[in-house]
Amino acid sequence: MSPQEQRHPGTVPGSTPGTAPGDGTLAVRAGLPDPVKHEPTLPGPVFAAHFHLPGDPTGPYTYGRDENPTWTHLERALGTLEAPGESGVETVVFASGMAAVSAVLLSQLSAGDAVVLPTDGYQALPLLHEQLRAYGVEVRTAPTGGDAQLAVIDGAKLLWIETPSNPGLDVCDIRRTVAEAHAAGALVAVDNTLATPLGQRPLELGADFSVASDTKGMTGHGDVLLGHVACRDPRRAAEVRRWRKIVGAIPGPMEAWLAHRSLATLQLRIDRQCATALELARVLAGHPDVTGLRHPGLPDDPSHAVAARQMRRFGSVVSFELADRARAERFLEELRLVDDATSFGGVRSSAERRGRWGGDAVAEGFIRFSVGAEDPEDLIADVLRALDAARKAG
């Protein structure tokens, strides 16, 4: 193994094992190899289906479905962000967030097991409900808010938490939920997509798995589909990695390289987006056309007390309701600085009437608004103008 492959996943160049630099330093330096004269600081993507492999098939790189040097750098970077200063975290990258979600559920569960999933989680989770039941797994569901999932945890093999939930932005107490789930004999996986590791670190709060769609805030430019799973238990990590190999849900080297490059601006992006999201939420809180406003950073939000205990940043997503479907669609049409798109966490603000997809228990006028990196005053002015225009249009 080369010197570039030896660094512990939780450290960055120049840092001392067991200590953690600031978020900006972590984001900029995470996963970079040790400097070598005349070599780039971040090596370019390695495009290879196979590698020279004389003799016994040993070593880190044997075949392109198993490992790739570009993945190695990215996985090390993500592990550093998930658990700064720790050396025992393993990270596995996937071709998408749903590939990462599926890998945890389908590698850890088998016929006769029970799993607890949120009723208000990501819209594609019900597709997994169907598949899990087909495999003989008992699927139990409960909402995120109020730690309601704990009421159905007895006898379950795995508890799946999504906090803040998407799109309703409810929050559960990760530390308490993990403690009670572990006492009941269940593993805990946390979908951390909305918060990102800069918002909260599930592994530090006791979770067994931290899972994310890196398509969203982690890469932040709306041009990469990617996901990852991080955990401390090497046996669990091996099971997840084996599932990736079996189904071939591997990221392309170009996507992995783009993701690693994008991490350098993570702290800059997240800080700007979270600050603007809170400012927008405060403005919307006093608007007569807005009801059902949710953002964990608002002091009067139902989830604020729990979020403030476990989150370091409150996220870039704001949700609210307008009077009906027609009013919501007129609002979206009037926006000039916001894309009508279904993702979130990007540098360009986006919003959508979430009910158009079906599958989410939301009102017809429900808006999920993802705040980007535009100037706050420009974005807020655009939102207020669009609300006014939608009202005047009837």
Q: What angle do CA 262, 266, 269 make, to 5 degrees?
A: 110
Q: Environment class of residue 32 by beta-carbon count within 10 Å: exposed (0-12), middle (13-18) or buried (19+)?
A: buried
Beta bridge partners of 352: 368
Secondary structure of residue 183 in the 3-state scheme: helix
Strands of 366-370's sheet in order across: 291-294, 317-321, 366-370, 350-353, 339-340
The number of beta carbons lying within 10 Å of the beta carbon of residue 16 is 9
324 tagged catalytic: no
- Active-site residue among 7, 216, 236, 327? 216
122 tagged catalytic: yes
Lookup: tokens for 393: 């249009």
245 tagged catalytic: no
216 tagged catalytic: yes
Q: Say which residues have a Cβ less than 8 Å from residue 176's Cβ, sequence separation at least 6.
A: 147
d(CA 230, CA 190): 10
Beta bridge partners of 140: 116
- Active-site residue among 23, 122, 147, 294? 122
Q: Say which residues have a Cβ less than 8 Å from residue 171's Cβ, sequence separation at least 6.
A: 144, 145, 163, 164, 165, 296, 303, 306, 307, 310, 311
- Active-site residue among 23, 147, 170, 191? 191
- Active-site residue among 63, 65, 289, 325? 65
Lookup: tokens for 252: 């392309």
Active site residues: 65, 122, 191, 216
